[in-house]
């Protein structure tokens, strides 16, 4: 049972140096070719035609209806005067011509995803968008397929099945395409899936690698070059040893949210979701590698470092929120960091080369954790908010977190990070029944 929710926007000042070479100042051609605008996930445009002096003069130019009533969570792409939209199930891809009055439809592509996929979508039949790369539009369907479509004609180029809805898997996230690789993660942590992130060849759709979030090191793509910063994230086969029995096989840790990429370090960054089942009494241990930030090599998927944000997740906080890549001056030293506003309501600043946590202060109201020890990286949970076979009241934030999947944005002009956050608490009652 939850209290009333207010959606708010917070701003946090981050001291960014005015240097063009910083990752947050990636070149801007005035288009929007990927979900987060750029690989750094700043979602910042340098276009300045509309400002505070003339915004009041904006008027409706045209509208377009998908005819669907379910959640629309996909930001449109704008490339070469064409606007691309992906709908929730049945995941129709539209191309609209922005050079003509009313933005008429150029083409429509209908993938015809399996209707029964709607029954394995935990949180509405949503889709979070597409990515444009070298004349093609890439997107995912709810029944766990990735598709490449010719951006000019709408003709299908390839289609690859990555998951199985009969196992509870679906795909709702927007892909990221970099260096000829299409990165895709699954959804379904609530249904006992085994989470993964995969890379496909952008030309052919061939699976290049798949990194699981649970299981032995060979499946998680952890090898000799894996060097996590903190001791609790070191050790062999922690994706097995931190679970009871073989529960890691249905342990969740899906990769259903946003991905960032640093071309200089050649690392991708993403977070994994909640462990399964929700009832933490059934999965003793840290439950690695759920609720974890991963840094991986793009070409091979090899894990370089990992940091588990919420070990043994009690509150469905996941670790999937966006990672905004910034070069910031901290204590007189320029650091390559990622800013991660987690659902546990703490803003993590992490060295993106090493995984060291530099700061982890709350950005919204929370009472489920007391602190994060920067020396050990360990979060200290509030004991009175721990769940179990009891009633726990006033848990803040609730499962949607201090912020949910709705992404933040960073402006190098203002040095501000803009965060759409929640003010939401809840009560949990868990009962034990013996049959």
9 touches 423 (CB < 8 A): no
| Distance separating alpha carbons of residues 33 and 91, to the nearest angstrom | 19
Residue 376 burial (CB count, 10 A):
12
Q: Between the CA of residue 265 and those of 23, 26, 352, 381, 407, what are the distances in Å?
A: 11, 15, 9, 33, 23
Task: Decide if 313 is catalytic.
Answer: no
Distance CA(179)–CA(208), nearest Å, equals 13
CB 371 within 8 A of CB 348: no
CB burial of residue 271 (10 Å; 0-12, 13-18, 19+): buried
Q: Count CB neighbours of 137 within 10 A.
A: 26
Is residue 76 classed as helix, strand or coil in its secondary structure?
A: coil
Residue whose C-alpha is closest to residue 258's, from 143, 141, 405: 405
Catalytic residue of the set 143, 190, 233, 322: 190
CB 301 within 8 A of CB 222: no
Among 236, 238, 209, 212, which Cα is nearest to 224's? 236
d(CA 225, CA 397): 36
Q: What is the 3-state secondary structure (H, E, C) of 19-40?
A: CCCCHHHCCCCCCECCCCCCCC
Catalytic annotation present for 279 = no
274, 287, 344, 422: the active-site residue: 274
Active site residue 356: no
CB atoms within 10 A of CB 99: 10
Contacts of residue 379, Cβ cutoff 8 Å, sequence gap at least 6: 309, 310, 311, 344, 360, 369, 371, 372, 373
CB atoms near residue 183 (< 10 Å): 26
Residue pointed to by tokens 């007391």: 370
Answer left, alpha or beta for residue 278, where phi above 0 means left and psi between -120 and 50 means alpha.
alpha
What gap in Å lies between CA 185 and CA 180, rounded to an integer?
Answer: 17
Catalytic residue among 286, 316, 342, 356: 316
Q: How far is CA 292 from CA 126, 156, 213, in A?
A: 23, 35, 9
Is the N-terminal amide bond of 396 cis, ω within 30° of 0? no
Catalytic residues: 190, 274, 316
């Amino acid at each position: 049972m939850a209290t009333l929710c207010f959606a708010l926007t917070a701003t946090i000042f981050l001291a960014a140096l005015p240097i063009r070479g910083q990752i947050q100042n990636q070149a801007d051609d005035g288009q929007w070719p990927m979900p987060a605008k750029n690989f750094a996930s700043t979602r910042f445009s340098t276009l300045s035609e509309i400002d505070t002096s003339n915004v009041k003069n904006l008027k409706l130019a045209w509208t377009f209806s998908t005819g669907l009533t379910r959640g629309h969570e996909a930001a449109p792409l704008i490339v070469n005067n064409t606007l691309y939209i992906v709908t929730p199930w049945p995941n129709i891809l539209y191309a609209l011509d922005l050079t003509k009055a009313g933005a008429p439809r150029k083409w429509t592509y209908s993938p015809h995803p399996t209707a029964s996929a709607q029954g394995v979508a935990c949180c509405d039949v949503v889709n979070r968008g597409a990515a444009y790369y070298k004349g093609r539009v890439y997107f995912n369907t709810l029944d766990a397929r990735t598709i490449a479509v010719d951006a000019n004609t709408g003709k299908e180029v390839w289609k690859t099945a990555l998951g199985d809805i009969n196992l509870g898997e679906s795909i709702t996230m927007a892909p990221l395409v970099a260096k000829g690789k299409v990165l895709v993660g699954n959804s379904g942590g609530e249904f006992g899936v085994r989470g993964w992130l995969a890379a496909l060849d952008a030309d052919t759709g061939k699976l290049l690698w798949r990194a699981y979030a649970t299981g032995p090191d060979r499946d998680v793509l952890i090898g000799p070059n894996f060097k996590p910063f903190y001791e609790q994230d070191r050790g062999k086969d922690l994706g097995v040893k931190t679970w009871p029995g073989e529960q890691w096989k249905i342990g969740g840790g899906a990769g259903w949210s946003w991905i960032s990429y640093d071309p200089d370090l050649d690392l991708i960054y993403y977070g994994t979701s909640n462990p399964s089942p929700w009832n933490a009494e059934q999965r003793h241990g840290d439950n690695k590698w759920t609720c974890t930030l991963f840094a991986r090599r793009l070409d091979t998927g090899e894990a370089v470092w990992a940091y588990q944000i919420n070990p043994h997740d009690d509150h469905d906080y996941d670790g999937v929120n966006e990672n905004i890549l910034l070069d910031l001056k901290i204590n007189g030293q320029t650091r390559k960091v990622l800013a991660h506003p987690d659902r546990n309501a703490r803003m993590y600043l992490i060295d993106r080369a090493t995984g060291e946590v530099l700061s982890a202060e709350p950005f919204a109201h929370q009472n489920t954790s007391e602190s994060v020890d920067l020396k050990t990286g360990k979060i200290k949970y509030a004991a009175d908010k721990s769940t179990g076979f009891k009633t726990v009241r006033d848990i803040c934030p609730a499962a949607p977190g201090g912020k949910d999947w709705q992404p933040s944005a960073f402006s190098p002009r203002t040095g501000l990070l803009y965060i759409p956050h929640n003010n939401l608490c809840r009560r949990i009652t868990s009962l034990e029944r013996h049959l």
